[in-house]
Amino acid sequence: MTITLPLASYWQKILHPDLARLAEPIHGWFYTIQPHGDLAISLATLLILGFCLGLAGSLFGGGSGFLMAPVLNLVCNIPYNVAVGTDLSQMVGTATTANLRQRGRGYVDVKLGLFLFLGSCLGLEIGAQLLQFLKYAGEITLGGRNLSLMQVVMTGVYGGMLAWIGSLVYREARAVLKAETSGVAPGAASIPMTSRLQTVTLPPMVSLPLSGVEAVSLWVILGVGFVTGLLTGLLGVSGSFIRMPALIYVLGIPTVVSIGTNLFEFLILALYGALTHSVKGNVDLCLLVILLVASIPGSQCGVWLRKKLAGPRLQLLFAGIICVIILCMCLKVVR
Amino acid sequence: MTFWQWLAAICQSAAPAGEPFAPHWTYVALAVVLPVAFGLIVALSLKGIEKVFDVKLGGGDF
């Protein structure tokens, strides 16, 4: 059974005007571009993909959010803007569940959360506008083929980010394996930026009594928010893998407050992200429902598997999956 | 009209073929409300399952 995704089809025809005049269907492995350019995707593929991405999110943890949009583009040929917008809207659901599930387990520093949101909001809007610019930037010719500029740029950005995350995960796993064989505990990663950013005294300085921080420059909080917001708006990721270490190591927030504040801030940021991306037409409601439904059982299986398999070998597997995805993304652009 | 057809019709009304995208309020509202409602239902369902079967389920991270 195949389904036609209305918004994905619409933007595909905008990105590749030639498809609107297509006489014969183009068959991919898991999708078909029908005459007049409509994108039909196998429902089973989308359900399996949603399940696997939910599973990866729970199984591998930080950084796995970077897989969703490139995999949707790679396997189902969904334009990046729709993949990012729908992914972000889907994250509103997971953030709502996470906030309700974690309620009472961690403190929420509302003042810090709102300052972070200010920076994130600006970053998210700039990220979404960048995507909007790429959407209408037209096509470029690469190796005799016409490719949308958005496809090329987003493949490069995702490829770079995934390569960075993959290398971090690989190095961490290797360090743990090395420590296991030598019997020496792995040293804590050095964070040279920490001490430097904590000494920034650029006014206005704000105090965060709930977090036990006497004075911190507002610009540092806004900066942390801006960077994560930019990633959220452009790539549709939660940015928690940057926000959480930044809250703990850069701002010196206690871990229990960081968890609660991170969840709170991301929920309001994701709501704003879903709103702004939907106004720009980047959310496909049909795809959204499929991803929401399919990712839940995947996420629960991931939690169960993580208890059984957690360890450096699992991280090496994640790094391997990232390598394969980067390779496939490059092949999609050049073939 | 099924739920699925209704969703598709809302998407198509916001993005008519050959015309510029014009966000309808129902489309924008659904993009925000649908995941919130879904998240609420999932959280309540997980809590219910945990109480009935005395198990610990995930769903606290994203």
Q: What is the tens place of the pLDDT at every residue in B5-61?
A: 899 899 888 888 778 888 889 999 999 999 999 999 988 998 898 889 888 777 656
DSSP A45: H
Chain A closest-CA separation from residue B35 CA (Å): 4
Asked whether the beta carbons of residue B42 and residue A93 sit closer than 8 angstroms, the reply is yes
Asked whether the beta carbons of residue B31 and residue A274 sit closer than 8 angstroms, the reply is yes
Q: How many CB atoms lie within 10 A of CB A87?
A: 28
To test the contact with chain B by mutation, choose from A101, A263, A287, A300 the residue with the greatest count of B C-beta atoms within 10 A, namely A101
The stretches in chain A having pLDDT less than 70 are 62-64, 104-106, 184-198
Predicted pLDDT at A125: 96
To test the contact with chain B by mutation, choose from A97, A288, A303 the residue with the greatest count of B C-beta atoms within 10 A, namely A97
Q: How far apart are CA B35 and CA A217, in angstroms?
A: 35
* All residues at 6 or more sequence positions from A136 whose CB lies less than 8 Å from its CB, including other chains: A14
Asked whether the beta carbons of residue A299 and residue B58 sit closer than 8 angstroms, the reply is yes
B-chain CB neighbours of A10 within 8 Å are 11, 15, 17, 21
A-chain CB neighbours of B39 within 8 Å are 92-97, 100
Return the structure tokens found at A54: 């939910």
8 Å CB contact between A78 and A323: no
Is the CA virtual torsion A271, A273, A279, A282 positive or negative?
Answer: negative
Q: Is the reported ipTM for this assembly greater than 0.90?
A: yes
B-chain CB neighbours of A95 within 8 Å are 39, 62
B-chain CB neighbours of A97 within 8 Å are 39-40, 42-43, 46, 59
Tell me the whole-structure pTM to 2 decimals: 0.89
Predicted pLDDT at A217: 87
- For tokens 């394996």, the residue is A177
Closest residue in A to B10 (Cα) is A285
Select the residue of A91, A94, A278 nearest B23 (Cβ to Cβ).
A278
Asked whether the beta carbons of residue B7 and residue A289 sit closer than 8 angstroms, the reply is yes
Backbone angles phi, psi at A226, to 5 degrees: -60, -45
Q: How far apart are CA A285 and CA B57, in angstroms?
A: 28
B-chain CB neighbours of A96 within 8 Å are 35-36, 38-40, 43
Predicted pLDDT at A306: 80
B-chain CB neighbours of A91 within 8 Å are 35, 62
- Beta bridge partners, A2, equal A42
Q: How far apart are CA A254 and CA A124, in angstroms?
A: 26
A-chain CB neighbours of B28 within 8 Å are 275, 278-279
Asked whether the beta carbons of residue B38 and residue A277 sit closer than 8 angstroms, the reply is no
Chain B closest-CA separation from residue A15 CA (Å): 12
Under 8 Å CB pairs connecting chains A and B tally to 129
B-chain CB neighbours of A19 within 8 Å are none
8 Å CB contact between A232 and A120: yes
Predicted pLDDT at A250: 82
Predicted pLDDT at A334: 77
Select the residue of A57, A100, A278 nearest B31 (Cβ to Cβ).
A278
